[in-house]
Structure formats: structure tokens, C-alpha cells
């Protein structure tokens, strides 16, 4: 059977904030059969993840493009690979059968061909809504889990600060930290997001960073006894202010630096390294992909929290492939609350 496979691609490389018009839809004819001797898998995509890191792939140059193989530069017209959830429609690969529900590196497209079934795994789609596997039980959840437990090495009672705290990773970090018995403060960019953190997600307190003019004093106010752990999603000024307020032997997990993604090469705020030395602070960048060994633990722990309603799922789902450009540009305007997904098809 032949189908028209629509996909989203770059119209031109992006400098600065992404515009919806920087992306466009194209289509190609796809035969939904896998040739003899191939171990490829064809997946009908159902949900795709919208993630900030893609902006660094869409620039003419970013140092991240040569660091790891999933962050390589995207060219104009190229299909964009992205994390997603789908259903196998054809496979010669012994690990996958037609109609299997799968997660992995799919794409901003209606269908994806996964060479050799790489970066693809089966999911149990019966217990929780399918969309959960794109967020809380997917890569965002793993990022929060591994970043918090493996990188930050938290202890009960420690004081934790999370930036972009209403986002897909941040909201889960804050909820894990509360379940462990930490004192947790988050920051976000609107009153609604701040209220969500305090009233629904159980954060001890939260503030709107856009209303603060001196972030070092703000953090001093919220953490009079200092910060033990900073889960950094934004970088630059917030990172500098958090480090200035850290306790001895504090840990900073640098998950992402979204406030730096849109800037060109100007000088940015940075932590005071003298403080890093004298307070013996650990600052560690990490990538969730390095923690695939933790995936089974992460799924079993998080599923258990979900079964017992100990964790809230915050999702923000747009409909249809056509909504990808605005969903993506919206990440950098703070439009999303929780995990941003696009539902490509309902069946
Ligand atoms: P997200 O938080 O769901 O979406 C982005 C949010 O960032 C926006 O809603 C906005 O919320 C905030 N934001 C946008 N521009 C900002 C700016 N200039 N300053 C401060 N906040 C800004 O995204 P996510 O998926 O959870 O990702 C969060 C961070 O983790 C990103 O830096 C991402 O690249 C990184 N990440 C890393 C890994 C890894 O393996 N290391 C994996 C996934 C994500 P506000 O309204 O609060 O501004």
C-alpha cells in the first residue's frame, strides 16, 4: 500500500527566536512494506514530542551539533527525527510485529522508517494513556528521574531549587523531590504556572522570575538557609544567582540552558568560580540518554507513583502535524504548561 507521508521540515536555518514560518510541511510517497532482507520497521506516528533542544539543530552552527549523534545539524528539507509514540504498520524485524505500540526516535511526520529498529522499544499501552509514554513515562520523565536521583544525589530534607519548573522536566523533578521529603521552590514565567506549582503540584513555594529584578536577592529571600540542589533548565543569570546562594557541597545538575538557546555569541552571565571552589560545589551537565540503564527502574518507580496518585501528570497536547510549528515556537515564548506533545492521529 502507498501513502502520502507528510512531514515537517526547516524552510531555512534559524537565528534567534524561531518563527512558525521557519518551518514548513512537505510530503513524499511512502510504500508501507519492508523489503526482504531488511530489518527496518515502519511506524505510524501517534504522538510526537516537542523539545527545546531541536532549536540548536536548526541553527547553521551550534557547538552541540557535533557532541552527540541525536543533536546533529538539520538541513533545509530534511525530515526531523524526534521522540514519539506510534504503532508498527510493517516490520521484517524479529523484535517488532505489526500493531505493536512503540516509543523511540520517530519524527515530526505521519510515518517514520526506523532503520534496523534502532532507538525503538515496545511499550505497554494498556495501563496508562498513550500520551504518558511521550512525557512522564518517556524521555522527559527519564531526564527528570536520572537528573535528580543520579546527578543531584538528593537526601531527605535538602533544599531544592528548580527552574522552568512548570515545564515537562521541571514539574516532574519538583514532584520527585517532594516525594523524597525535600524542601522545593520552583520558578516559572506566569502567575498561572506559579499557582499550579504551589496549589496542585505540592511545591513549598514558587515565584515568577519575570517579575524579579535581582535574582540573587530573590533566591536569598526564598532560601535564607541556602540551596543544596539546583536543577538547572535555563542557565545564564539564574544559574549565576543559584550558585551565589548555594551551600557548601551543593550540586547543580545542568539539564539545559534554554535562556541561552536563542542568543548569538554575546557574553553571558556565569557562576562565580571562586564560590564553586570554596563552597566545593559540583556542577554537572548530563544527557538523559546516558541513563538508559536506569530506564526500567524509572518506569517501575514512576508507574507506581501514578497508580497511587502520588504524582500529577501535566500535559499540553496540540492536535495535528500542522500544529508542530506553533507548538515548537511556543516553547520559547513559554506558551506550554507541562509536557508539550502533538497528537498526529487518533487511530
Ligand atoms: P519545557 O520546560 O516544557 O518548555 C520550555 C519552557 O522553558 C517554557 O515553557 C518556558 O517556561 C521556559 N523558558 C523559555 N524560554 C526561557 C528563558 N529565556 N528563560 C527562562 N525560561 C524559559 O521544556 P523541557 O522539555 O522541560 O526542557 C527544559 C530544559 O531541559 C531545556 O533546557 C531542555 O533543553 C532541557 N532538556 C535536557 C535534557 C537532557 O537530557 N539533558 C532532556 C530534555 C530537556 P516559562 O514560562 O517558565 O518561562
Residue 320 pLDDT exceeds 70: yes
| pLDDT given for residue 347 in this prediction | 60
Q: Which of 54, 135, 233 to mutate to test the pocket of ligand 1 (most atoms within 8 A of CB)?
A: 233
3-state helix, strand, coil in the chain (%, to 5): 35, 30, 40
| pLDDT given for residue 69 in this prediction | 86
Give tens-digit pLDDT for 322-343. Answer: 999 999 999 999 999 999 999 9
* Distance in Å, CA 30 to ligand 1 centroid: 34
* Distance in Å, CA 255 to ligand 1 centroid: 9
Ligand 1 binding pocket (C-beta < 6 A) is 51-53, 140, 143, 164, 166-170, 188-190, 193, 233-234, 255-259, 286-288, 331-332, 334, 336, 340
Give tens-digit pLDDT for 73-95. Answer: 999 999 999 999 999 999 999 99
Ligand 1 atom nearest to CA at 289: 40
What CA–CA distance (Å, rounded) separates 122 from 271? 42
* Distance in Å, CA 27 to ligand 1 centroid: 30
Residue 13 pLDDT exceeds 70: yes
Q: Which residues of 241-262 are buried (b: 16+ CB within 10 A; e: fewer)?
A: bbbbbbbeebbbbbbbbbbebe
* Distance in Å, CA 37 to ligand 1 centroid: 42
Direct distance between the N- and C-terminal alpha carbons of the chain, in angstroms, rounded to an integer: 18
Give tens-digit pLDDT for 176-224. Answer: 999 999 999 999 999 999 999 999 999 999 999 999 999 999 999 999 9
Report residue 70's pLDDT band, with 50, 70 and 90 as the boundaries: confident
Going 230 to 233 to 235 to 238, the CA torsion angle's sign is negative
Report residue 36's pLDDT band, with 50, 70 and 90 as the boundaries: confident
Give tens-digit pLDDT for 269-283. Answer: 999 999 999 999 999
Give tens-digit pLDDT for 228-272. Answer: 999 999 999 999 999 999 999 999 999 999 999 998 767 789 999
* Distance in Å, CA 113 to ligand 1 centroid: 29
Greatest distance between any 2 Cα atoms in the chain: 66
Amino acid at each position: 500500500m502507498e501513502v502520502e507521508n507528510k512531514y515537517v521540515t526547516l524552510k531555512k536555518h534559524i537565528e534567534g527566536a524561531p518563527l512558525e514560518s521557519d518551518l514548513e510541511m512537505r510530503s513524499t510517497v511512502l510504500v508501507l512494506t519492508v523489503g526482504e532482507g531488511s530489518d527496518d520497521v515502519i511506524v505510524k506516528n501517534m504522538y510526537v514530542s516537542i523539545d527545546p533542544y531541536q532549536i540548536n539543530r536548526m541553527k547553521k552552527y551550534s557547538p552541540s551539533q557535533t557532541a552527540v549523534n541525536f543533536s546533529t545539524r538539520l538541513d533545509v528539507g530534511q525530515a526531523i527525527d524526534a521522540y514519539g509514540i506510534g504503532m508498527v504498520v510493517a516490520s521484517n524485524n524479529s523484535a517488532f510485529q505489526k500493531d505493536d505500540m512503540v516509543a523511540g526516535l520517530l519524527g515530526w511526520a505521519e510515518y517514520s522508517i526506523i532503520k534496523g529498529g534502532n532507538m525503538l522499544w515496545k511499550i505497554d499501552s494498556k495501563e496508562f494513556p498513550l500520551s504518558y509514554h511521550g512525557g512522564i513515562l518517556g524521555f522527559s520523565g527519564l531526564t527528570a528521574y536520572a537528573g535528580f536521583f543520579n546527578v543531584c544525589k538528593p537526601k531527605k530534607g535538602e533544599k531544592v531549587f528548580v527552574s522552568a519548573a512548570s515545564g515537562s522536566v521541571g514539574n516532574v523533578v519538583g514532584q520527585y523531590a517532594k516525594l523524597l521529603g525535600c524542601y522545593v521552590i520552583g520558578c516559572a514565567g506566569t502567575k498561572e504556572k506559579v499557582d499550579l506549582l504551589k496549589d496542585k503540584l505540592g511545591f513549598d513555594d514558587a515565584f515568577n522570575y519575570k517579575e524579579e529584578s535581582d535574582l540573587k536577592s530573590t533566591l536569598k529571600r526564598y532560601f535564607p538557609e541556602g540551596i543544596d540542589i539546583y536543577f538547572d533548565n535555563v542557565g545564564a543569570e539564574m544559574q549565576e544567582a543559584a550558585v551565589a546562594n548555594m551551600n557548601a557541597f551543593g550540586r547543580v545538575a545542568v539539564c539545559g540552558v534554554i535562556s541561552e538557546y536563542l542568543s548569538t555569541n554575546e557574553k553571558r552571565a556565569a557562576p562565580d568560580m571562586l564560590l564553586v571552589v570554596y563552597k566545593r560545589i559540583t556542577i554537572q551537565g548530563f544527557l538523559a540518554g546516558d541513563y538508559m540503564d536506569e530506564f526500567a527502574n524509572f518506569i517501575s518507580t514512576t508507574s507506581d507513583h501514578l497508580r497511587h496518585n502520588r504524582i500529577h501528570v501535566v500535559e499540553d497536547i496540540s492536535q495535528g502535524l500542522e500544529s508542530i510549528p506553533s507548538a515548537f515556537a511556543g516553547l520559547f515564548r513559554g506558551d506550554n504548561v507541562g509536557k508539550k506533545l502533538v497528537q498526529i492521529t487518533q487511530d
